[in-house]
Chain A
Amino acid sequence: MTDAFQPKDARVAAINCTACGSPLPALAGHRARAMVCSYCGAVMDRHAEYALLARYRDMPRPDGPFRIGLSGEILGVMQTIVGIVAIRAQIEGAGYGWTNYQLYSPTHGYSWLTWSDGHLTHSRKTRDMPESGGHFAYKAPLNAAGRAFRMYEHYVARITYLEGELTWIPSLGDTTEVIEAVDPPYGYAVVIGETETEFEFTSYLDRAQTMAAFGVEDTFPRALGVHGTQPFIAGSFHTALSKAGKWFAPIALTLGLVFAAIGAGQKITETLIVDTDRGGSIVFPLNRPDRLAEVRLSANVYNAWSWYDMELTNEETDETVAEFDGGIEYYEGYDSDGKWTEGSQTVTFRFKPPEAGAYRLTITTGDPQSARLPVRVEIRENVMLSRYLFGLGIFFALCALSLWFRRARFEAKRWGDDEEEDD
């Protein structure tokens, strides 16, 4: 255990259990009603000289990182853990359990720190009643405490463990009906008891920060699933990436469209080479050495292929500028799915001329297996490629959408109904 995780114990006053005599810390204020012995399960009335009211032996101690006596800051308020209550509930047929830690602050009173599947929340009593509703309806709106909550779950909570100082006289097995609603990172609960209905306001807590505040080293398993009140936190890098994507995707796609519209360039010349065995050549001027030029070959190849070797030379110096080779192949036919095609009757080569001037393109059919067909040669310059911009646009759009997808997946996990997104 490092120095940073030394548990922070509150000043301890103690009383002796009136049933077993064990020393028990007395940390709460005068409004706490019950003291439950950590050793023998005796429930004592703090307002009646610790009179013994009940005794619950062998209660199963719940899982959780905290213990009575630890102090830490929550929501800017120094709080001390004075009691523990474990709860079990059946929610939609499945059993769940969580641990409530009774907190006490001399200035802010009593509240709860809850450990549920590795998530931490803070709940306090509120007098802000719901403005509407009263019956549970999944995802139905519930307006209270100035917030628009949505109903999340409805269950009956049963007490399975008691310890320490509590604000009421509890009994093991006591049940309360609870309706929970969420508006992350907040929650609102309607707690319907036998004699009265209370309301609670919940805040989702940062686990690392909270455990550090209480001086507890976090050696516990990672939190399971998404808690009802857990906020979606994207992370600064992903947020920045998404923001950049939102701006740059439309820019890249717009530029891509512009390039597609005007980027075909200007045709310089065009010729048909009929005898490709002998080959042929074409001389043409190129005036834009700063832009791409293009050689486009088209041949009426059908269920066959043809291969072409090309050499581009500077007409004035006879220096070889570039060499290309490539084929045109095109096949089509029918199968059980209908007509199919493969390949293309056109192939394009692009190059950047080193300088303005006259160039010669020599073309031959190099491979003896190649089909011998007339080939149309077209030379263009000032060509702008839009496909890279479209690629970039799609990349940025995915960056922007990835955050939306992540959030949607997170919300689906929260509500447990991936197939039922109704937003």
Chain B
Amino acid sequence: MGFDGTNCPNCGADLPDTLTRAKMVACAYCESTVILEDDVLRSAGEKGVMAEEPSLFVLGREIQYRRERFLPVGQARFSYGAGWWDEFWAVNGAGEGVWVSVDEGEIAVERPYEIGVTLSPDRLKKGARISLNGETFTVTEADSATCMALRGEFPEALHVGQTYEYWHLSGPNGRLVTLEYSDGEFAASEGTWVDPYLIRPYLIRPENAGA
């Protein structure tokens, strides 16, 4: 039997239909997050307090960058040593999900990346050089971050209060790879930097209609 329950198990409020495609959603009406596992909804914890900050990315507001457009549908805020940054789960014009990290105008769009080798967190020191899929990367940042708050929906389970180790790897020609380590597993994404001055709200114009 497929999933047909669309109510928050905590408060009973309607959940978005898109939950069938996302794996996790923060309830818009109560303080809980909901996770879908094996067609069963269960409460995953609190969604935390998301202080309003100025941002080029706002949930539900589609933006355009060069020839691509992105609709942010989930926002996760992480604190790290210097401050905090936001990770937006966004759907692009082709319907693919991408992560958009936003930290005071430093914006990167990242997609899943297969690292193809077994890594050890102990080897990933700042300045270390690592070969991934034939390319040499340098570890430019090594830190840990804690999830502070969640809004909207996500393709994976995230938990407020959970801490992730992460590494930023810089490669040739501005290539960026981010590694995350949590619960004994690595997740990797490769990204491209985005010039915030070229981000525009996506306007429905006749030539954009149906695009």
Contact residues of A with B, CB < 8 Å? 29-31, 47, 75, 77, 105-110, 124, 126-129, 201
A106 adjacent to B82 (CB under 8 Å)? no
B105 adjacent to A30 (CB under 8 Å)? no
Residue of A nearest to B107 (CB): A109
Within the complex, the shortest CB–CB distance from B41 to chain A, in Å, comes to: 35
> Which secondary structure dominates where chain A touches chain B?
loop
Cβ of B39 < 8 Å from any Cβ of A? no
A108 adjacent to B173 (CB under 8 Å)? no
A110 adjacent to B174 (CB under 8 Å)? no
Interface-lining segment among B161-169, B181-189, B191-199: B191-199
Known contacts A77-B197, A109-B105; decide if A129 and B173 are in contact (CB<8 Å). Answer: yes
Task: Name B36-55 residues within 8 Å CB distance of A.
Answer: 53-55
Known contacts A124-B197, A129-B173; decide if A108 and B105 are in contact (CB<8 Å). Answer: yes
Cβ of B14 < 8 Å from any Cβ of A? no
Known contacts A29-B83, A30-B82, A108-B105; decide if A127 and B56 are in contact (CB<8 Å). Answer: no
Residue of A nearest to B83 (CB): A30
A47 adjacent to B53 (CB under 8 Å)? no
Q: Mark B129-143, 1 if CB is under 8 A from A, else 0.
A: 000000000000000
B103 adjacent to A107 (CB under 8 Å)? no
A129 adjacent to B174 (CB under 8 Å)? yes
B104 adjacent to A31 (CB under 8 Å)? yes
Within the complex, the shortest CB–CB distance from A33 to chain B, in Å, comes to: 9
Q: Mark B79-122, 1 if CB is under 8 A from A, else 0.
A: 00111100000000000000000011110000000000000000
Residue of B nearest to A76 (CB): B197
Within the complex, the shortest CB–CB distance from B160 to chain A, in Å, comes to: 20
Contact of A106 among B54, B84, B192, B197 (CB under 8 A): B54
Residue of B nearest to A146 (CB): B66
Within the complex, the shortest CB–CB distance from B129 to chain A, in Å, comes to: 14
Known contacts A31-B104, A124-B197; decide if A107 and B83 are in contact (CB<8 Å). Answer: no
B197 adjacent to A75 (CB under 8 Å)? yes
A107 adjacent to B55 (CB under 8 Å)? yes
Tell me the bound Cα distance from A127 to B172 in angstroms. 11
B81 adjacent to A47 (CB under 8 Å)? yes
Contact of B54 among A75, A107, A126, A129 (CB under 8 A): A107
Tell me the bound Cα distance from A128 to B198 in angstroms. 13
A30 adjacent to B84 (CB under 8 Å)? yes
Q: Mark B58-92, 1 if CB is under 8 A from A, else 0.
A: 00000000000000000000000111100000000
Within the complex, the shortest CB–CB distance from B191 to chain A, in Å, comes to: 10
Tell me the bound Cα distance from A201 to B193 in angstroms. 14
B83 adjacent to A127 (CB under 8 Å)? no
A110 adjacent to B173 (CB under 8 Å)? no
B103 adjacent to A31 (CB under 8 Å)? yes
Contact of B104 among A47, A77, A109, A124 (CB under 8 A): A109
Tell me the bound Cα distance from A129 to B172 in angstroms. 10
Contact of A29 among B81, B104, B174 (CB under 8 A): B104
Within the complex, the shortest CB–CB distance from A275 to chain B, in Å, comes to: 89
Within the complex, the shortest CB–CB distance from B178 to chain A, in Å, comes to: 15
Within the complex, the shortest CB–CB distance from A196 to chain B, in Å, comes to: 9
A-B contact pairs, 24 of them (CB 8 A): A30-B83, A30-B84, A31-B83, A31-B106, A47-B81, A47-B82, A75-B197, A77-B197, A106-B104, A107-B54, A107-B55, A107-B56, A107-B105, A108-B105, A108-B196, A109-B104, A109-B196, A110-B105, A124-B197, A126-B195, A127-B192, A127-B195, A128-B195, A201-B195
Known contacts A30-B84, A47-B82; decide if A107 and B174 are in contact (CB<8 Å). Answer: no
Contact residues of B with A, CB < 8 Å? 53-56, 81-84, 103-106, 173-174, 192-193, 195-197
B82 adjacent to A109 (CB under 8 Å)? no
Q: Which residue of A29, A108, A129 has the most chain B CB atoms within 10 A of its CB atom? A: A108
Tell me the bound Cα distance from A77 to B53 in angstroms. 15
Residues of B within 8 A of A127 (CB): 174, 192-193, 195
Residues of B within 8 A of A109 (CB): 104-106, 196
Known contacts A31-B82, A31-B104; decide if A107 and B173 are in contact (CB<8 Å). Answer: no
Within the complex, the shortest CB–CB distance from A129 to chain B, in Å, comes to: 6
Residues of B within 8 A of A126 (CB): 195
Known pairs A108-B105, A127-B174, A201-B195; list 20 more (Cβ under 8 Å): A29-B104, A30-B82, A30-B104, A31-B103, A31-B104, A75-B197, A77-B197, A105-B105, A106-B54, A106-B55, A106-B104, A107-B56, A108-B56, A109-B104, A124-B195, A126-B195, A127-B192, A127-B195, A128-B195, A129-B174
Within the complex, the shortest CB–CB distance from B171 to chain A, in Å, comes to: 12
Within the complex, the shortest CB–CB distance from B157 to chain A, in Å, comes to: 27
Residues of A within 8 A of B103 (CB): 31
A107 adjacent to B196 (CB under 8 Å)? yes
Tell me the bound Cα distance from A124 to B104 in angstroms. 13
Residues of A within 8 A of B81 (CB): 47
Tell me the bound Cα distance from A109 to B104 in angstroms. 5
Residue of A nearest to B81 (CB): A47
Residues of A within 8 A of B104 (CB): 29-31, 106, 109-110
Tell me the bound Cα distance from A201 to B103 in angstroms. 20
Known contacts A30-B83, A124-B197, A127-B174; decide if A106 and B106 are in contact (CB<8 Å). Answer: no
Residue of B nearest to A109 (CB): B105
Residues of A within 8 A of B196 (CB): 107-109
